[in-house]
Amino acid sequence: MAGGITFTAVESTKLATAEIFGKTIAELGAKDKSIVCLSPDLATSTKMIDFFTKYPERFYNVGIAEQNMIGIAAGMAKSGLTVFASCFSVFASLRALDQVHTDICYQNVNVKLIGTHGGTSFGQAGSTHHAIEDIGVIRPLVNMTVIVPADGLETANAVKAAAATPGPFYIRINRGFDNVVYSTSDYGFEVGKAVTMRDGTDITIIACGSCVYQALQAASILDFDYKLKARVINMHTIKPIDRDAVLKAVAETRKIITVEDHTVIGGLGSAVAEVIVEGGKACLLKKLGIPDKWSPIGLHEDLMANHEIDAQGIVKNVLEIMKQDVEKDENWGDEV
Amino acid sequence: MALTKQEWVGLEKQAYALRDLCLDTINWAGSGHWGGSSSVADILTLLYYKYAKFDPKNYEDPNRDRVIVSKGHVGVILAPLFALLGLVKKEDLKTFNLTGSKLGIHLDSNKVHGLDASTGSLGHGSSIALGMALAAPLQGRKYKTFLVLGDGECDEGSVWEAAMATSHFKNRGSLDLITIVDRNHNMIDGNTEDVMALEPFEDKWKAFGFETITVNGHDLPALAEALEKAVAGGPKPFCIIADTIKGVGVSFSSGNYKWHYGAFDEAKYTTAKKDLKEYSEQRIAKAEKEGK
């Protein structure tokens, strides 16, 4: 990893997540002259402005043309540059998908796609700007690593890891401020390695992005009010997913609830389900996320509450799951 | 004249060898995109045998000129071209399209040495080429990037996104990107003007900030002269509109949109080989007669 860039928790609370990305990429750009940044008229919104100010010769604003941006990024990367291309997650994953698929992933080039305004974090903008399918759309692309950081410090870690690792990355961050999950950068971030935030044996809550903070809050409530010990896993890397962490949770808690600011089809919950099913051990799974319908317009926190992916929603769903005694229904010894 | 007699004759022979090997490859593969392959053959010949600085023995040279063939469905002439350049084994052409082959309708740049991009989804090559061209000054390199577009693929909006950006970035660094459109007037469903009118085509490129030259894409000295102008550079990016004939050189396919893609039975293959020989020998004879 590039190293050397640290933000304190205090600093990170004063910075929007995208600003932390912007500062991180500017710092990386100082050390690595092969880093180039591209933006489709979103240098301000995606906070690439620091990089642009310091290294204007390595910054290209391509106008409102996401497809062109991704193709340019692929051409630059094919020529040996490390390219960070940033735009709203919904357009990175849908508008420019064919270019992401063919130019980046098929050619397996060193492009780091930073999707901002992830999930419903730009809630007021409505479904044209909600990115609720991006993980499901991008996750199947060959060669692509998919990361959904939990907060600003984790975003910095993910960006540094992406810069230091050859190949395509998709990093999905939120608009605005994220609740702080980490008080330090040095918690051992590793691509593809989930972080157990809190241990427990009654149930496991697997979350990503803004839902990690909510999962931790929920776990505190469950412990304090209901004496339930919930394990909380921050599955920051959706692909490659940490199979060991999932299978360990299956074996040790037998109940899993996934939480994501994304449709329940194709995202974190689906990725976890795939691991559970292939693991051959029975496990009760509940996927929390946006149901298969368009989200209302509204503030991010209100939409999270609406979709029951906030702390209260998680608590409610955990309590429902806890009523189901799967062990009485199944002969665990018969499993393959 | 941009070509000496010796060059002209030599390039005509190369173009013949290329089209001939393309016919063979289509025959081995069972079918192929003959129409657009034959129309682009002279452009590729001039690029790979004269204007692109590209040493097949040093195909990974970071200072090599880049050639992006955005009309990626012409893998069936690119593979023979790379075979003639020594980058693909000629025996491998016989496996074209077969299960497990490294060669198929759209070539994979991670499998074919020297191929600068994996194209096939139309309208992508323009942006990739632009990215490569922009990367050169950032890395202190002076290579040129040649972009070969099909005319039908200019229906894709992404071509024009990239054209706008090529013009916009022309004077930032030293953008050295030359666009050549294989204007063969035909696409899968018919004539370009019937399916989705491109005309006034040259005006469109001009409006996007390009210096344009329209030239007979099967007249090697004329095409070479256009390339000389483009290579010399200027304040605007260059777009050469190479007026070509789809399926040229073979009686039954020449100008016939239905030969965008097809299969030869034995009789058609024999006719195609014979027609191409006649067509190419006439061109070689002309070069010998008129070359200086």
The DSSP line for B76-133 is HHHHHHHHHTTSS-HHHHTTTTSTT-S--SS--TTTSTT------STT-HHHHHHHHH
Contacts of A77 in chain B (CB under 8 A): 131
**Residue A317: which residues within 8 A CB-CB, separation 6 or more?**
A257, A286, A288, A308
Specify the pairing of strand A195-198 against strand A230-234: antiparallel
- The total number of residues written for chain A in this structure: 336
Coil/strand/helix, residue A309: coil
Structural domain boundaries, residue A234: 195-323
Number of domains chain A contains: 2
Instruction: Assess whether A278 and A310 both reside in one domain.
Output: yes
A-B C-beta contacts closer than 8 Å: 107
Instruction: Assess whether A72 and A167 both reside in one domain.
Output: yes
The nearest alpha carbon in chain A to B156 belongs to A67
Instruction: Assess whether A213 and A159 both reside in one domain.
Output: no
The nearest alpha carbon in chain B to A65 belongs to B161
Instruction: Assess whether A121 and A227 both reside in one domain.
Output: no
Cα separation, B190 vs A292, in Å, equals 42
Chain A nearest-CA distance from B107, in A, is 11
Cα separation, A174 vs A152, in Å, equals 9
Specify the pairing of strand A237-239 against strand A255-263: unpaired
φ and ψ at residue A61, rounded to 5 degrees: -95, 115
Instruction: Assess whether A155 and A216 both reside in one domain.
Output: no
Mutant choice from B64, B127, B134 vs A, greatest count of A C-beta within 10 A: B127
Structural domain boundaries, residue B159: 5-290
Point out the residue among B108, B129, B158 whose CB comes nearest to the CB of A75: B129
**Tokens linked to A240:** 């490659």
pLDDT score recorded for residue A333 = 55
**Tokens linked to A272:** 């976890």
Instruction: Assess whether A135 and A228 both reside in one domain.
Output: no
pLDDT score recorded for residue A127 = 96
Q: Does B111 contact chain A (CB < 8 Å)?
A: no
Please state whether the peptide bond connecting residue B200 to the residue before it is cis, i.e. omega within 30 degrees of 0: yes
Angle, helices B5-29/B220-232, rounded to nearest 10 degrees: 100
**Residue B73: which residues within 8 A CB-CB, separation 6 or more?**
B33, B36, B105, B106, B120, B261
pLDDT score recorded for residue A336 = 46
Cα separation, B9 vs B225, in Å, equals 16
Mark yes or no for CB contact A79/B135 under 8 Å: yes
Chain B nearest-CA distance from A64, in A, is 9
Instruction: Assess whether A33 and A158 both reside in one domain.
Output: yes
Asked if residue A265 belongs to a domain, the reply is yes
Number of domains chain B contains: 1
Residue B125 CB neighbour total at 10 angstroms: 31
Cα separation, B127 vs B39, in Å, equals 23
Specify the pairing of strand A237-239 against strand A230-234: unpaired
Q: Does A29 contact chain B (CB < 8 Å)?
A: no
Instruction: Assess whether A201 and A310 both reside in one domain.
Output: yes
**In Å, how far from its chain's centre is CA B113?**
17
Q: Which of A19, A27, A66, A260 is catalytic?
A: A66
**Burial (Cβ within 10 Å: 0-12, 13-18, ≥19) of residue A135:** buried
The half-sphere exposure of A103 on its side-chain side, counting CA atoms within 13 A, is: 36
**Tokens linked to B266:** 């034995």
Task: Tell me chain A's radius of gyration from C-alpha atoms.
Answer: 19
Instruction: Assess whether A108 and A42 both reside in one domain.
Output: yes
Please state whether the peptide bond connecting residue A291 to the residue before it is cis, i.e. omega within 30 degrees of 0: no
Asked if residue A330 belongs to a domain, the reply is no
pLDDT score recorded for residue B1 = 84
**Eight-state DSSP code of residue A63:** -
Chain B nearest-CA distance from A48, in A, is 19
Asked if residue A328 belongs to a domain, the reply is no
Asked if residue A155 belongs to a domain, the reply is yes
Q: Does A98 contact chain B (CB < 8 Å)?
A: yes
* In chain B, beta strands by DSSP E: 66-69, 145-150, 177-183, 186-187, 190-191, 211-216, 238-243
- CATH value at residue A153: 3.40.50.970
Chain B nearest-CA distance from A75, in A, is 4
Residue tagged 């009523």 (tokens):
A323
Asked if residue A1 belongs to a domain, the reply is no
Mark yes or no for CB contact A99/B62 under 8 Å: no
Task: Tell me the β-bridge partners of B69.
Answer: B148
Q: Of A172, A207, A232, which residue sits at a domain end?
A: A172
Contacts of A80 in chain B (CB under 8 A): 62, 135, 139
* Torsion B58-B147-B69-B117 (CA) sign: positive
Please identify among residues 68-97 of chain A the ones whose CB lies closer than 8 Å to any CB of chain B: 68-81
Instruction: Assess whether A15 and A118 both reside in one domain.
Output: yes
Q: Does B117 contact chain A (CB < 8 Å)?
A: yes
Instruction: Assess whether A262 and A144 both reside in one domain.
Output: no
- Digits of tens for pLDDT over chain B (292 positions)? 899 999 999 999 999 999 999 999 999 999 999 999 999 999 999 999 999 999 999 999 999 999 999 999 999 999 999 999 999 999 999 999 999 999 999 999 999 999 999 999 999 999 999 999 999 999 999 999 999 999 999 999 999 999 999 999 998 878 999 999 999 999 999 999 999 999 999 999 999 999 999 999 999 999 999 999 999 999 999 999 999 999 999 999 999 999 999 999 999 999 999 999 999 999 999 999 999 9
Asked if residue A213 belongs to a domain, the reply is yes
Q: Of A109, A139, A172, which residue sits at a domain end?
A: A172
The nearest alpha carbon in chain A to B67 belongs to A75
Q: Of A140, A172, A204, which residue sits at a domain end?
A: A172
Instruction: Assess whether A99 and A32 both reside in one domain.
Output: yes
The nearest alpha carbon in chain A to B159 belongs to A68
- Digits of tens for pLDDT over chain A (336 positions)? 334 555 565 566 788 999 999 999 999 999 999 999 999 998 887 788 899 999 999 999 999 999 999 999 999 999 999 999 999 999 999 999 999 999 999 999 999 999 999 999 999 999 999 999 999 999 999 999 999 999 999 999 999 999 999 999 999 999 999 999 999 999 999 999 999 999 999 999 999 999 999 999 999 999 999 999 999 999 999 999 999 999 999 999 999 999 999 999 999 999 999 999 999 999 999 999 999 999 999 999 999 999 999 999 999 999 999 998 766 555 555 454
Catalytic status, residue A260: no
The answer to whether the complex's ipTM is over 0.85 is yes
Cα separation, B124 vs A157, in Å, equals 32
- CATH value at residue B173: 3.40.50.970
Mark yes or no for CB contact A75/B158 under 8 Å: no
Cα separation, B117 vs B127, in Å, equals 11
